[in-house]
Amino acid sequence: MKEIPLEHILFVSTALFFIGIYGLFTRRNLITMLMSVELILNSVNINFIAFNKYLYPEKMDGIFFTLFIIAIAAAEAAVAIAIIINLYRNLNSIDVEQTDEMKY
C-alpha cells in the first residue's frame, strides 16, 4: 500500500471535490444538488483518512473526524429531504428557480 504516494490519493479527493462543485453549479434540482454535496463531503473524508494513515499513523483523530462527518452528513441529508418534501407539497416543484417565496 505504501508504494502509492500520498499525492495520488489527494488527486482523487481533489478531483472528486471539484466534480461535486461542478454538479452544484450546473444542477437546478434540489435532490441532485444534495447528491453533489454528498460527493464533496466524501472527498473530505478521503482526505482525512489518507492524512491520518500516511502522516500520523500513531494517532486516530482522522478516523474520528470522518465518523463525525458521516454522522453530520446523515443528519443533514435527513433534514434536507424533509425540507424538499415539504417544499414539493407546497410548490409542486423542487426546482431551485421556483423556490423564491422567501426572496422578496
The answer to whether the CB of 4 falls within 8 A of the CB of 13 is: no
CB of 37 to another protein, least distance (A): 10
44 contacts another protein (rule: CB under 8 A): no
Cell triple for 19: 466534480
57 contacts another protein (rule: CB under 8 A): yes
**Closest to another protein by CB, 8 or 103:** 8
Buried b (16+ CB within 10 A) or exposed e, 9-21: bbeebeebbeebe
96 contacts another protein (rule: CB under 8 A): no
64 contacts another protein (rule: CB under 8 A): yes
